[in-house]
Structure 1
Amino acid sequence: MTLSNRQFTSVGRSEFIAVEENVKLHVIDLGEGPTVVLIHGWPLSNAMYEYQYQFLVAKGYRVIGITLRGFGKSDKPFGPYNYDIFAEDIKIVLETLNVEDALLGGFSMGGAISIHFAAKYAGAHINKLALFGAAAPIWSEAEAVNGLIDLSVTNRPQLLENFGKIFGASETAISAPLAGWLGGINFEASFYATTQCLIALRDEDLREDLGKIKVPTAIFHGTKDIICGFHLAEQMHAGISDSYVVKFENSGHALFIEELEKFNSELLAFLTK
């Protein structure tokens, strides 16, 4: 695969990388040094890591943010949306950018996809794994997710508003400007990908993947997370042999902005271990 349509901006390099003949992913590639690769959650994009990019580049790291197919500025094809497809896409991007020995970090659905990537490819391209409020190993009860799928195909704005209300530790935990910023990112997602990824979140089971992870793993999780309850962090910790949990006592699901300073400092601490 080849790079195309590379752009240089005031904040770094933005490029589109082909993962299939007619599918290109938007990738942000900033800084120089040891590499950190970040995977966003549903239905966000690589834009969600704005405050991690700036912090890590200033600390001497190269940071790569990949927007999954169907989201943000990436192409939005019809077709399958599942963890296998996403993992394959990530591998092509890392191969194209010659990435080795990176920390791979993923938020929410992106955390689940990162687990699958590490298990499927036996740790290829990475030497550490960081999971942020990951929707794994099994996200939720099928019946509950079916209601979200129904709403996605009848009233997507209402679905996203409902999620916004429970994204933080409380309805007022995230400031109005930040909530508006996140909402804008959410609406860049394809309606089709939004629905199909809910189906994947409902159906994917990563319990067998946990035991296949052989790289050191940090599990960041909000103790007040309603979307991905803290019990998921405990299950991941029990299943991943070389792992530890960092509790975010004042965070819901949005730990990357609710406790921004702690999130960044704990990530840096894991990088320097």
Structure 2
Amino acid sequence: MGHYIKVEKGVTLFVEDLGKGDPVVFIHGWPLNNEMFEYQKNQLINKNYRYIGIDLRGFGKSDHPFNGYTYDRMADDIRVVITKLKLKKITLAGFSMGGAIVIRYMARHQGYKVKKLLLISSAAPQFTKQPDFPYGFTKEEVTKLIKNIYQNRPKTLNEFGERFFLDPIDDQFRMWFNDLCLSASSHGTAFSAKALRDENVQNDLSKIKVPTAIFHGLQDDIVPYQRVFQLKDGIKNSDITGFEQSGHGVFFEELEKFNDELFSFLKD
């Protein structure tokens, strides 16, 4: 079942809502949509969980407004969805940019209705290199990425996707993956990349009070594994699960292990 939920005047989000039981709310990464979690969704439903997948504004089947691509606004959108669906005892999961957004949600909305937090390949506390953290993309590289989006978005996203997985993926999967990326609006893709470049959730980490799992690929070329130690240091009740044979796409590259660890975390 799909819901179309109005989060502010002129902006409606698409939310996939399937199964019954404790809800697991998934927030996708850049520049994807909730369909990236296809290989978790079916397993969750079969194990009596409720899958809630939100397409962020600008992405997937949600509206594509020209404004609102800050972490604050996207966190507020999540709050509206949770309130309107009357969700409680949520496990909130965020992938990559979605990981940074759910961290902002936890701080900005005091963890409203969330009992557990899952950070997957999270682009946090900040996506870009810092003076005390020489790993990952520079701000200049992200600025160039944004420029390239405006000039040739399909080529740019395909090249980004080539860094997403540790090993080459088959042509059929790549076609599916690229289609997810291209279903986003061009402006939403560019503006949210600016948020990735500029925003920082470091000060939000200490406000997270729920058990938190950190899933991350040891071979991640987009958000280097070294980021997990910043998250672990900042979030008191957190644990790291590393995926030795994965790059950024842990949800697919080590699918069986990922799903096993997911259900272990949900049951604890």
- TM bin, normalised by shorter chain, reads over 0.9
Q: Check if 1:109 corresponds to 2:106.
A: no
How far the C-alpha of 1:221 sits from its partner, in A, is 0.2
Structure 1: distance between partners of 2:66 and 2:3: 22
Amino acid at match of 1:260: L
Amino acid at match of 1:159: T
Q: Check if 1:155 corresponds to 2:143.
A: no
2:37 aligned residue: 49
2:198 aligned residue: 203
Structure 1: distance between partners of 2:20 and 2:67: 36
2:251 aligned residue: 256
2:208 aligned residue: 213
Cα distance per residue 1:41-84 (max 9 Å; x no partner): 01101111111110011011011000000000100011131100
Unaligned runs of 5+ in 1: 1-12
How much is the aligned-residue C-alpha RMSD, in angstroms?
Answer: 0.8
TM-score, normalised via structure 1 length: 0.93
Runs of 4+ in 1 over 3 A off after TM superposition: none
2:115 aligned residue: 127
Amino acid at match of 2:246: S
Q: Check if 1:188 corresponds to 2:176.
A: no
Amino acid at match of 1:16: Y
- Out of 110, 118, 124, the residue aligned to residue 106 of structure 2 is 118
Structure 2: distance between partners of 1:165 and 1:87: 29
Aligned-residue sequence identity (percent) comes to 47
Structure 1: distance between partners of 2:22 and 2:62: 25
Amino acid at match of 2:162: K
- Paired residues for 1:1-273 under 5 Å: 13-140=1-128, 141-170=138-167, 172=168, 174-273=169-268
How far the C-alpha of 1:261 sits from its partner, in A, is 0.8
Structure 2: distance between partners of 1:212 and 1:159: 36
Structure 1: distance between partners of 2:253 and 2:24: 21
How far the C-alpha of 1:143 sits from its partner, in A, is 1.5
Structure 2: distance between partners of 1:71 and 1:231: 29
Cα distance per residue 1:162-203 (max 9 Å; x no partner): 111111013x1x222211111111000000000001100011
SS across alignment from 2:31: coil
How far the C-alpha of 1:216 sits from its partner, in A, is 0.6
Q: Is the 8 A contact 2:68 2:74 kept in 1?
A: no
Give the aligned length. Answer: 259
Amino acid at match of 1:88: D
TM-score, normalised via structure 2 length: 0.95
1:7 aligned residue: none
Structure 2: distance between partners of 1:37 and 1:135: 18
Structure 2: distance between partners of 1:71 and 1:28: 13
Structure 1: distance between partners of 2:208 and 2:10: 32
